[in-house]
Amino acid sequence: MFVCLCNAVSDKQIKKAISDGASSVEEVQQVSNAGKNCGTCIYAVQEIIDREVGDKKENSKPEPKLGSSVKEL
């Protein structure tokens, strides 16, 4: 799906930029030109960044060790 119509940038291109290390709208703009014309898509680009970075954080949470205990307050 196209996110930036002005520069024909798709969500896949934005996700690729993020997987290559981009973590802000400005960094995505540098590699894809998304949002550099009219700017209407900036919020959509940010949503994709938030979702993709959030997914990476969730997937990087350490698994609890077997036998470990959790103290309740």
Residue 47 lies in a domain: yes
Residue 64 lies in a domain: no
Q: Identify the domain containing residue 28 by its residue range.
A: 2-59
What is the C-alpha to C-alpha distance for residues 15 and 33, in angstroms, rounded to an integer? 14
Q: How many residues does the chain have?
A: 73
Note the pLDDT tens digit of each residue in 2-49.
Answer: 999 999 999 999 999 999 999 999 999 999 999 999 999 999 999 999
pLDDT of 64 reads 53
Our count of domains for the chain comes to 1
Alpha-carbon distance values, 23 to 2, 18, 58, 67, 71 (Å): 19, 6, 16, 36, 35
The confidence band for 54, taking pLDDT boundaries of 50, 70 and 90, is confident
What is the C-alpha to C-alpha distance for residues 14 and 36, in angstroms, rounded to an integer? 13
**For position 39, which CATH number holds?**
1.10.10.1100
Residue 31 lies in a domain: yes
